[in-house]
Amino acid sequence: MKKTLGLASALGLGVIAAMGVALSHGSGDDDAAIDLVVNQPEGDVSREEGLAAWDRIFAVASHPRCANCHTDENNVPMWSGPSYGKTRPHGMNINAGMSRIGIESMPCTTCHTQSTKPNTIPHAPPHTGHVWMLAPVEFVWFGKDTQTICAQMRDPERNGGRDGAGLVEHILHDAEIKAFITWGFNPGGGREPAPGTMQDHLNDMVTWTAAGMPCPDPAG
């Protein structure tokens, strides 16, 4: 694991735990759970089917709802949406720091609380069942092309140490705690959701991993 993740843990995770205690009271809300079904493919999955599934995964990963918080080592989340005209850095000089949770200056949780309640208010800071944070810096998606994101996602060194099954499990776990992927498909507050549904996304991940995680050839 890279140094930054180590630092993130050292700096951040203790605080995440502390903030979890502080801010997650009553957040085990009783909203209907997302029921996902893992549809294991029968027989082999072709590379073409896998690539087709990847294209849809890329459409999700590169969508602003997801990519805006998968940003590079500048640790700045992005904003986009109709009222901003174009994608721009998160307002208010927000910087999540190397901890990716903002503890170096102002924690993301100052505004983004931890709650599984639906997001309903336009332009309010969204919340999920996970403590708000930027994705680890190894998972940078913002502004990256399909080959780059694909290579990252299948690399355990850069995907949180996950194999194919781990990636599928990641989605299931996310749905269970209503974390960021779940939110991406139902961001609320008038935000444009990532394309497709959580179930579609799970199906695609199952298909892509079953196909051996093929990546598109570099363009040209």
Decide: is 202 part of the binding site for another protein (CB under 8 A). Answer: no
Residue among 158, 152, 132, 153 at smallest CA distance from 205: 153
Looking at residues 18 to 47 of the shown chain, list those that interact with another protein (rule: CB under 8 A). Answer: 18-19, 21-27
Decide: is 134 part of the binding site for another protein (CB under 8 A). Answer: no
Decide: is 103 part of the binding site for another protein (CB under 8 A). Answer: yes
Contact 77, 101 (CB under 8 A): no
DSSP type of residue 210: H
Q: Given candidates 62, 71, 99, 115, which one binds another protein under the rule CB under 8 A?
A: 115
Q: How many chain residues bind another protein (CB under 8 A)?
A: 33
Residue 213 exposure: Cα atoms within 13 Å on the Cβ side: 18
Give the nearest distance from C-beta 183 to another protein in angstroms. 15
Local structure of 114: helix, strand or coil: strand
Give the nearest distance from C-beta 91 to another protein in angstroms. 6
Compose the 1-20 pattern: x for residues touching another protein by CB under 8 A, - for all others.
-----------------xx-
Residue span binding another protein (CB under 8 A) among the ranges 54-62, 109-117, 132-140, 141-149: 109-117
Give the nearest distance from C-beta 97 to another protein in angstroms. 8
Looking at residues 68 to 87 of the shown chain, list those that interact with another protein (rule: CB under 8 A). Answer: 83-84
Q: Given candidates 87, 95, 147, 197, which one binds another protein under the rule CB under 8 A?
A: 95
Residue among 190, 193, 163 at smallest CA distance from 180: 193
DSSP string for residues in 61-94: HTSHHHHTTS--TT---EE-SGGGSS-EE-TTT-
Decide: is 121 part of the binding site for another protein (CB under 8 A). Answer: yes
> What is the C-alpha to C-alpha distance for residues 193 and 134, in angstroms, rounded to an integer?
18
Decide: is 187 part of the binding site for another protein (CB under 8 A). Answer: no
Residue among 163, 49, 88 at smallest CA distance from 57: 49
Local structure of 184: helix, strand or coil: helix
Interface ranges with another protein (CB under 8 A): 18-19, 21-27, 83-84, 91-95, 103-107, 109-111, 113-115, 117, 121-125
